[in-house]
Amino acid sequence: MTHSCPRETETLQAVECRSQRTISDDLRLHIAACPVCSDLATVAAAFDGARNNLIATAALPDAGRVWRQSQLRARQQAIRSAGRPITAAQLVSFGAAMGLLGAYVGATSTGVQAALSWLQRQSPTLDSLAWAAAASAFVADRWLYFAVLAGVVVLVPTAVCWALSRE
């Protein structure tokens, strides 16, 4: 007894498409004679009938309800992602980047180099009040540089934290 037939595919297609076109007499005779194709046609017709029955009785949900549910889901997703904490790896990498930026600015900026050499010159004759007055005069001379530096130190971490929290 064989469990396959070379005309199985043809039989299956013919049964599935029987509403669009009629099954040829040749294939109809083969299905009646061949046990494999006979079983296949019976099972395929049952599945096809069940599928058509399901399609005819299926109730589609209201479009407005689907839209509201998708809006609610998107809002919940946004709330979840906004509440997600910044990971430790992001904080460490950000700290390393800020440290590198600070080292680069310190090593390349003439203002920082001048401040360091000025501090070295002042150190032997260090008088606390005179030192504070001289330091404030130094900062007042270079107020724009210190304002930009303070802005970078405050604004860049704030911007990065804001950008990461929006992910």
Q: Encoding tokens for residue 26?
A: 């040749």
Q: Is residue 7 close enough to count as binding Zn ion by CB under 5 A?
A: yes
Which residue, among 148, 145, 160, 150, has the nearest Cα to 96 in the 3D structure? Answer: 160
The angle subtended at Cα 19 by Cα 14 and Cα 25, nearest 5°, is 45
Q: Encoding tokens for residue 125?
A: 């004759």
Q: Is residue 15 close enough to count as binding Zn ion by CB under 5 A?
A: no
Burial letters for 18-40: b for 16+ Cβ neighbours within 10 Å, e otherwise?
eeeeebeeebeebbeebebbeeb
Q: From the CB of 52, what's the least distance to Zn ion, in Å? A: 25
Q: How many CA atoms lie within 13 A of 144 on its CB side?
A: 0
Closer CB to Zn ion, 36 or 149, in the complex: 36
- CA gap 19, 22 in Å, rounded: 7
Q: Is residue 34 close enough to count as binding Zn ion by CB under 5 A?
A: yes
Q: Which segment (12-20, 29-37, 92-100, 111-119) binds Zn ion by CB under 5 A?
A: 29-37
Q: Is residue 28 close enough to count as binding Zn ion by CB under 5 A?
A: no
Closer CB to Zn ion, 27 or 115, in the complex: 27
Among 37, 41, 44, 115, binds Zn ion (CB under 5 A): 37
Closer CB to Zn ion, 37 or 115, in the complex: 37
Q: From the CB of 32, what's the least distance to Zn ion, in Å? A: 10
Q: Which residues bind Zn ion (CB under 5 A)?
A: 5, 7, 34, 36-37
